[in-house]
Amino acid sequence: MASQRKKRNLIGIGQLLILGFDGAEMTPRLSSLLKRIQPAGVILFARNIKTAAQTWRLLRDCQKCVSTPLFTCVDLEGGSVDRFRDLLGPAPSPVDVFATGDRKLFHQHGETIGKNCRALGFNVDFAPVLDLAFEASRSVMASRTVSADPHDAATYAREFLAGLRIAGVLGCGKHFPGLGEGKLDSHHELPVIDKPLKKLLAEDILPYRMLRTQLPMVMVSHAAYPSVTKDRTPASLSKLWIADILRRRIGYRNLIVSDDLEMGGVLAAAPIGEAAVKFIGAGGDLCLVCHREDCIEEAYDQLSAAAERDSKFGRRAAEAAKRVLVFKNKSAKMLRSAPQPSATAVEKLSRRLWEFGEQVRLEKLLRAANDRSANDHVQNNRAKSDRKPKPRRPRP
């Protein structure tokens, strides 16, 4: 009986983690790690992806080590964030697709990326980006953001998410509450965004409110918002941001995932084990730990220890694990593995991706030409108006 309780606890704590690892094939070491932790999911990067068949087999082998359906995750936005570039060819960036102004292409962007993910064995894509394209973050976010207008960002994201869903892939809006005003890269440093809550709600957070019922997951950023929290606590460790604002005020009900807890932006505030405990304690559900085995083990061990010694945290961790398992049960169809892709199927995906990229390129050029033509027309009319002789005033 005691061993059964221990096993249930092991599975429960593991459901709070999505982990990454090195290598392109299953090893005894990786198998042992997965069997011990029983994570909610795994995430692959370009370092893990060599061929379509190899990637599919690696994800299948990961699933064999875990007793619950796995979230098999990837970051694939298109443009600069594209883990399949060397395998299938480049996917258009969000900003290029948005520049076409065609909602059908926004949808097709999600569906094309989703079908590629699904064929290789992935069921979660950590996209789309909902950050706004403000000048402050231009050097950091570049082509990952589509517009400074929250309604435009939500329109693109809504269609992209629907395309992913058609392909059988779960999406994730990121990076709550918004990195649009961030001047630093949270991979390396802690961005400090000193913007009042009222303005954040009207701008950066608005897409999350608009899409709260359509987002399977929301990823929380490692940025500080001192005007809101009164300190430099990253949003990913803040109960005010996660439990109070995202859950209660916005009314978001699905899964909340951290950005990678190995990133410099959060490690500046807490070591990784403590960060994992604080994220779950603040109301999060899934800790993302993307690289080092020692970091994964530290996060798992600290979560387990905190759940054992602190009954309040234990209840919070159990609540998060239950939310994950209930979500998996509801999404069972999407979490089933697709058949292994044939060489012909991979070639077809690559060709369709290229065709979509060409369509985006041509539509973008056409829209730019039309915009120039319309602008020239306005300028010409204005010039003609300026050249018209002014009517003479009648003599008295």
Q: Which residues are catalytic?
A: 187, 259
Residue 139 to residue 209: CA distance in whole angstroms: 27
List Cα–Cα distances, 343 to 59, 70, 114, 119, 286, in angstroms. Answer: 18, 25, 18, 11, 35
Half-sphere exposure of 219 (CA within 13 A, CB side): 24
Question: Is the separation of the CB atoms in 112 and 352 below 8 Å?
Answer: yes
Instruction: For residue 16, count CB atoms less than 10 angstroms from its CB and return exposed for 0-12, middle for 13-18, buried for 19 or more.
Output: buried
Q: Residue length, the chain? A: 396
φ and ψ at residue 331, rounded to 5 degrees: -105, 20
Query: Dihedral (C-alpha) 91, 95, 99, 102: value to the nearest 10 degrees?
Result: 60
What gap in Å lies between CA 203 and CA 134, rounded to an integer?
11
